[in-house]
Amino acid sequence: MHANNMYGLWELASQMTPHPQPKMIPHMWPWSVTESIIEESARAVPVGDERRALQLFNPGLSGRWATTNNLIAALQILLPGEVAKAHRHTPTAIRFIIEGKGAYTAVNGERIYMAPGDLILTPSWAWHDHGNETQNRVVWMDGLDIPLIASLDAMFFQFYSAPQVPASCPPNTSGKVYGHAHIMPTWVKEKPQSSPLLLYSWDEAWKALDSLRDQEGSAYDGVLLEYRHPQTGGPVLPTMACMIQLLRKGEHTKAHRHTGSAVYHVVQGAGSTVIDGQRFNWQKGDVLAIPPWALHEHANASSSADAVLFSIQDLPVLQALGVYHEEAFTEDDGRQPVTATFKAS
């Protein structure tokens, strides 16, 4: 049987687990550690054909190019005067700006200028390059669905014939066309799978969060908002949802779990997340990975300051396949007992 590449179901039944058992583990990359590595990489590594981007590998995934089973996050640095060469690839990408203002990402020849807290999209197979014409370094978090695309054997990559793609339209044209909530131009008939709006500004995101601080919000996530495709109302990318959430002063959510993984970036404030009984104390700049089906809850212990978390999640994939499930933790008033505290190595 085995000699003919056949196996009995009775040999494989143990792989049909009663619930998800991911190999990835909860992990955090503290800004206090990553910032010094960012500074050293900026001194030591030139921008060549590849980006100067620090990939965040999950310790539970045995060296895979992955932060979660479906997503990879990275911290990318661009120094004054630098240009990251134009290329394109089938994985979709997002940039969440951490530090610096005035640099740009050009997507298919449209420049999108950056400011801290902005979300910038790079749809699948779109030509893109990055440039920094300012006097200060720029740092952002990349998020891509590389592990998912690799598992599907759908990976394509190509360099452009020149360092940059020629301008095809004035800067931030997509914002002028698609950036008006609930009001769409009638002459635009195409509805691409990825959002045609390439820039979701921090000013708009914060305005929305702040306007909803008096609402009850989610018992499990506080004031949680999803960036949406302006034409369809769906996720901004077909394989990746982008979220922004406000944890108000003293707010402590209840625990729940769901299929699908997530990577969080702390935009502002300080607090903690408990994942399967392990407490992760976070502050501004930290990056945190949460596995599928892991119980998790968030807390902002401050009585004087808000906390804001940005996250990328593979939720659209699970929903499209009909395998998204969510479950609340019903013991101990919905909050987990803490059995350990994460310490960075």
What is the pLDDT, as a whole number, of residue 250?
Answer: 95
What is the pLDDT, as a whole number, of residue 345?
Answer: 79
321: alpha, beta or left? (left if phi > 0; alpha if psi -120 to 50): alpha
Q: For residue 190, name the pLDDT band (cuts at 50, 70, 90).
A: confident
Measure the CA–CA gap between 328 and 106, rounded to whole angstroms.
42
Tens digit of each residue's pLDDT (9 = 90 or more) over 7-47: 998 888 878 889 999 999 999 999 999 999 999 999 999 99
Q: Longest Cα pair distance anywhere in the chain, in angstroms? A: 67
Element spanning 9, H or E = helix 9-12
CA end-to-end distance (rounded Å), the chain: 47
61-65's contacts with Cβ under 8 Å and 24+ in sequence apart are 61/23, 61/24, 62/23, 64/147, 65/146, 65/147, 65/150
Q: Is the alpha carbon torsion for 158, 161, 166, 171 positive or negative?
A: positive
What is the pLDDT, as a whole number, of residue 176?
Answer: 87
Residue with more model confidence, 316 or 176 = 316
Element spanning 243, H or E = strand 241-247
Query: What percentage of the chain carries pLDDT values higher than 90?
Result: 89
pLDDT at 181 over 80: no
pLDDT at 70 over 90: yes
Q: What is the mean pLDDT of residues 87-94?
A: 98
CA distances from 20 to 131, 324, 339 (A): 42, 11, 21
Q: For residue 230, name the pLDDT band (cuts at 50, 70, 90).
A: very high
State whether residue 139 is helix, strand or coil.
Answer: strand
β-bridge partners, 19: none
- Asked whether 107 and 18 are in contact (CB, 8 A), the reply is no
Computed over every residue of the chain, the mean pLDDT equals 95
Measure the CA–CA gap between 339 and 278, rounded to whole angstroms.
6
The angle subtended at Cα 286 by Cα 155 and Cα 29, nearest 5°, is 60
- Asked whether 53 and 75 are in contact (CB, 8 A), the reply is yes
Q: For residue 138, name the pLDDT band (cuts at 50, 70, 90).
A: very high
Phi (first) and psi of residue 174, to 5 degrees: -60, -35
Q: Residue 134's closest CA among 85, 100, 99?
A: 100
Write out the two tokens for 209: 């969060």
Q: For residue 182, name the pLDDT band (cuts at 50, 70, 90).
A: confident
